[in-house]
Chain A
Amino acid sequence: MSDDYNLRGKVAVVGVGETTYYKHGQSTDPEFVLVLKAILAACEDAGISPKEIDGFCSYSNDRNDPPRLANALGIPELRYSNMQWTSGGGGAAAAVQNAAGAIVAGSANVVVAYRGLAQGQFGRFGRSGGSRPVSGPAAYTLPYGMMSAAQMYAMRTTRFMHEHGVGRSSMRAIAMACYHHAQNNPRAVMHGRTLDEETYDSSRWITEPYRLFDCCLENDGAAAIIVTRTDRAKDLAKAPALVLAAQQSGGHRSGATAENATDYVTSSFKPAVKYLYQQAGITADDIDVVQSYENFTGGVVMSLIEHGLCTYENADEVLTFDNLRADGGALPLNTSGGNLAECYMHGLGLQVEAVRQVRGESSNQVPDAKVALANAGPMVAVASTAIYGTEETLG
């Protein structure tokens, strides 16, 4: 494979933005308005006119389609639209990847990756009702009381802990790190709400092995990321966060129904990682700060192992609260508070935070952070990861 065929450094994130993050159902704006506001915020951050956007990328069947957005924004030329097929928020980094790919291919100049959620308007993920018959793959699980996201992934974590004998203390440390970081982040829904070991240990079971604090929030809001050519980025408002690599990741029959994925004990990142680090020209040791998608903490443990940031053997020794803190930890994790404590914007907030770390703008800034990794989706059929770096990381 020729070295020319990769993204490394050719494309940069030049603007990030989000709306106020609300508890689920509490946004007074409709979802479409939230997305528009996030895009305007990202454009302002970039110092770029919204009229310059000519491409849109999203994921998880986002309801706010590009023609409608382009119409509302008065975009003169809509040159590129893309929807990433995956389950859960596994497409958050892939949306950035798809935007970057469109730019490298010359399909568009300024692409926005976005995601909006308003659950008051459209209903929640974590509870389902209904009495109509269910057919297809859901019929193999739902009549047995298996229908929520937590239930979809709990058994992977049970099996992971059984096979590897690690995870319980790591899961608690991950939850505590997220809440710790939210205390410095005024955007965080859990700003002002701390989490200690006792509170975690005494929290109720959602479904064993997940306690309440192992589970992501559900929120209303929107986030947006503006991507353009790196040479164009030099004229814009802020230092760019270069996209060093971005990769989607699905394994052999990872989308098999009724829990029949060939490799069950995985966060779904195993196929991607070799391409990811090869493309970025780095190793796991070069990562300064990590944003790892927490649908559930058990998936984060697997994700960090599969990205080479710790091992099956030492996970519980490496993944401690002290190590995961931005203030002095060796492996700073989810420095905005993440999906557990900042906001569940289907993981796009984690990509935004990785960009802020590379720019030196995080509310929990890791000193001298140059390379940030942000993944999306663990345990879903198709996950994704992006790596961002400062200009100097290109060498």
Chain B
Amino acid sequence: MSRSTTEPHLPGLRQPAASNDGLDAPFWEGAQAHELRVQQCLDCGLHQWGPEWMCHQCNSMEIDWVTIDPVGQIYSWQRPHHPVHRALSDRGPYIIVLVELPHASNIRMVGNLLGDPMQDIEIGAPVSVVFEDREGDPDFTLVQWEASPAN
């Protein structure tokens, strides 16, 4: 359902690091292991993204990290043209998608839609994860998306 690449999509931007309180470390570790991991409440079953210390539905603090199917649907999108960072100055347009994951309490995740930057984008279209393995200090993996057959 997913694939991986070592080709950097937007090189030169600041790399992600797990927060110093440890809250989101399992997500970044999961990405490096090519697994999409998000929080799930042990009491009510709600999935959460971004991570929180408490389940926002039942206020339980018993929260686990689970690996979910790395697929979703495009909920919204934008196509930046204006470079907002010096690393993007000669990059040209790219696509940011907001992906909804119906099988995980409809959480949404932000990433890039890989492929032709000028492609037509359809809200509701199925997408699947591309784990983008990057060299850095330390190495890291981004969760990207690409068009996929219906899932």
A residues bordering B, Cβ < 8 Å? 126-137, 139-148, 150-151, 154-156, 158-159, 162, 204-209, 253, 256-260, 264
Contacts and interface: CB of A to CB of B under 8 A. Distances in A.
B78 A209 contact: yes
A135 B25 CA distance: 10
B10 interface: yes
Given A135-B19, A145-B94, A151 B78 contact: yes
B111 interface: yes
9 contacts: A128-B84, A134-B15, A145-B10, A159-B98, A204-B81, A205-B81, A207-B96, A258-B108, A260-B108
Nearest to B83: A127
Contact of B112 (A144, A204, A264): A144
B150 interface: no
Contact of B15 (A128, A133, A140, A156): A133
B35 interface: no
Which 10 residue pairs are nearest across A and B when measured between Cβ atoms? Answer: A257-B50, A139-B16, A133-B17, A154-B78, A159-B76, A207-B80, A155-B76, A208-B79, A205-B81, A148-B84
Given A126-B84, A205-B81, 8 more contacts: A129-B85, A135-B18, A135-B19, A139-B24, A154-B80, A155-B98, A259-B110, A260-B107
B16 to A, nearest CB: 4
Interface of B: 10, 13-20, 24, 49-50, 56, 75-82, 84-86, 88, 93-94, 96, 98, 107-112, 123, 137, 142, 144
A143 B50 CA distance: 15
Contacts of A129: 85-86
A3 B23 CA distance: 45
B113 to A, nearest CB: 10
Given A129-B85, A145-B84, A205-B82, A135 B16 contact: yes
